[in-house]
Amino acid sequence: MSAQREMKEKNPWPVTIIIIVIGVIVIVALVTVAVLQNMPLSQKYKYGIVLDAGSSHTALYIYEWPAEKDNNTGRVQQTHVCKVQGPGISSYASEPWKAGESLMACMQEAQQRVPGKRHLETPLYLGATAGMRLLNMENSSASDAVFRAVERSLHTFPFNFQGARILSGQEEGAFGWVTVNYLADRLEQGLETTGALDLGGASTQISFVSSNYDGSESPSNSVTFRLYGNNYNLYTNSFLCYGKDQAMKLLLAQQTLLAPKTIVDPCFHPGYSEAVSYSGLYDSPCVSNRKPQGAPEAFNHTGSGNFLQCQDVVKSIFNFTYCKYSHCSFNGVFQPLLQGHFGAFSAYYFVMDFLNLTDTSIPLTKVKEVISSYCATPWDEVKRQHPGVKVKYLAEYCFAGAYILTLLTEGYNFTSDSYTQIEFIKKIKGSDAGWTLGYMLNLTNMIPAEAPDSPPLPYAGYVSFVTVMAVLLFVLVIVSTRRFWLRCSKRPQIV
C-alpha cells in the first residue's frame, strides 16, 4: 500500500495571532517605559516666607513652588497670608521688644504650614517700608533697636533667615511691578507690561514702562531689568509722606495752621468729632516742621462732609506748578507720559472697593458723585450702615476717595480716557499684589535673565509621538514579514 500523501494547507492564524500579541505587548511596554521615564516627578514643593513690615501693619506671606521647576513663570504662588495683630513695627519705637513679640503668632503659624522637612532650607525675609523709613530718618537708633528685636525673634525659628532691612522706595515700586507682571505671565511671554500703582499708609509708588522713557531724563527714576531674555527700562517713583495716613496728617497739619483749636474738615462726615493730640499729629517727619508755634495740647477735629471743598484742601498738599523736566507728576518729580494698563493695589483697592468704585468704566463724573454723596452722609448714619467695618477706616474713606482721585488725575495725570486703563486689584491668580513676591523672586534668582530652554515637545505631544511611532513600526514589521508567513503557510506538508 503506497503511502498516502495528503496535502494539507497549514492554518496561518495561530502564528499571526502570536505575532500580533507579541507586537502589542512590545508596543505597550515601549510606550509605558517612555511615559514613565519622562513623566513629571511627583510634585514636591519648596517654600519661601516674606514679612511685609508696613507702616500700618505687618503681614506674613508664604509662597510655594514645585521643587523641580524653580524657573518656570507663574509657578510661584502664595499659599497663606497671616496678618500680624497690632500696628506696624515702626510704632514700637519706644518699646522695641514688643515689635519682635508681635511677629511670634504668625511665625508659629508659618511653622505649622511649611512641612517640617523643608524648614531649614526655607528662606525667610523681612522687608520694612515707609513707616521704618520715616522712623529711621527721625531716630535711627530707635529704628536699629526695632530691627534687633525683630531679628532676635525671627532667629528663634528653624527657617533660613536672610535678614531684615528697609527697602528703598525704588525697590518697593520696582518689586511691586515685577509681582504684578510675573503673576499675569507677562514677563516670560514678553507681552506689553502692566504698570503698578501702590498706595500704602506712609508712601505711594508708581512704576511703568513708557516708550518715551530711556532713563536719560531723571536717571534716578530708572530701574533696568533683563528678564527671560527681554530688557525693561522701568520708570518708578516713590512719594514718601504721600501714603494714605501720612497724606491725611499733611492735610490736618495744613488745616491746623488756619484754625489751631477746632478744624471743620470738609473731608470728614457731618457730625464727626474727635479730639486729636498735637503730639500724635506731629510725631512724623512728614509734618513735624509745620507745627504751629505755641500750639495747644489737642485740637477738635470735626467734619462738614463737603467733597468739593475737600478736593480743594487735598490739592493744597501737592505742588502741581514747579517742574524742571519735560513732564512732571507733582512736587517737581519727573514722570514720562503714561502708557498702557495699570494695576492699582493696596489702599487703592481697599478704598475703591469700599466705595463700590472698582469698575473703572464708571465715568469720573459719576465717581465724584459717589464719593461726594458718601462724604455728605452724616457720621452716625455711616456707622449704622456699615456696622462690620472698622470705625477708623469708615471715617477716612471720604478723605481717601478724594485723595485717590486727586492723586490719579492731577498728580499722575490720568485723564477720563486713561483712567479706564486702571484696574483696582487685590489679588492676581490667588496671590496678593504687592512688592513681597517680586522681592523674593529677585533674592532667590527665580526669574532668569535669559529665557529658559524648553523641550521641543510638550509632555502630551511626546507621549503621542512615541505611541504613533511604535504603532507604525509594528505595522511595518507585519507588512514586511507578511510574504514570508504566507509562503510558510502555503508550503505543502507531508503527513
Ligand X SMILES: O=c1ccn([C@@H]2O[C@H](COP(=O)(O)OP(=O)(O)O)[C@@H](O)[C@H]2O)c(=O)[nH]1
Interface positions with ligand X (CB under 6 A): 54-57, 88, 129-130, 200-202, 243-245, 346-347, 350-351, 393
CA dist., res. 320 & res. 224, Å (int): 28
For the chain, give the number of residues: 495
Nearest-approach distance from CB 74 to ligand X, in angstroms: 24
Active site residue 274: no
**Helix ranges restricted to H, 331-419:** 347-354, 364-376, 379-385, 391-406
CA distances, 7 to each of 14, 491, 494 (Å): 19, 9, 6
Is 421 assigned to a binding site? no
Residue type, 115: P
State the pairing for strand pair 298-303/262-265.
parallel
27 Cβ contact list (under 8 Å, min separation 6):
467, 470, 471, 474
Cβ-based nearer residue to ligand X, 209 or 253:
253
DSSP 60-113: EEEEEEETT-TTSTT--EEEEEEEPSSS-GGGGTTSTHHHHHHTHHHHHHHHHH
By Cβ distance, which residue is nearest to ligand X?
54
Is 205 assigned to a binding site? yes
CA dist., res. 176 & res. 195, Å (int): 9
> Residue 278's closest CA among 291, 262, 263?
291
Kindly state the cell numbers that stand for 460.
Answer: 502630551
Cβ-based nearer residue to ligand X, 242 or 474:
242
Is 449 assigned to a binding site? no
User: Residues 399, 403, 406, 409: is their CA dihedral positive or negative?
Assistant: negative
CA dist., res. 97 & res. 142, Å (int): 11
CA distances, 122 to each of 116, 195, 288, 448 (Å): 10, 30, 41, 20
> What is the residue whose three cell numbers read 496728617?
249
Give the chain's count of helices (H) and strands (E).
15, 18
Nearest-approach distance from CB 160 to ligand X, in angstroms: 24
Cβ-based nearer residue to ligand X, 267 or 347:
347
Cβ-based nearer residue to ligand X, 175 or 225:
175
CA dist., res. 365 & res. 347, Å (int): 21
Nearest-approach distance from CB 135 to ligand X, in angstroms: 13
State the pairing for strand pair 77-83/58-66.
antiparallel
Cβ-based nearer residue to ligand X, 247 or 441:
247
Kindly state the cell numbers that stand for 415.
Answer: 485723564
Catalytic residue among 64, 171, 172, 423: 172
**Is 233 exposed, middle or buried, given 0-12, 13-18 or 19+ CB atoms closer than 10 A?**
middle
Cβ-based nearer residue to ligand X, 423 or 432:
432
Nearest-approach distance from CB 134 to ligand X, in angstroms: 11
Cβ-based nearer residue to ligand X, 243 or 336:
243
Triad 253, 258, 259: Cα angle to 5°: 90
Residue type, 493: Q
Cβ-based nearer residue to ligand X, 90 or 256:
90
Nearest-approach distance from CB 87 to ligand X, in angstroms: 9
Nearest-approach distance from CB 245 to ligand X, in angstroms: 4
Nearest-approach distance from CB 354 to ligand X, in angstroms: 7
Nearest-approach distance from CB 198 to ligand X, in angstroms: 9
Binding residues, as ranges, are: 201-205
Binding residues for ATP, as ranges, are: 201-205
Catalytic residues: 172
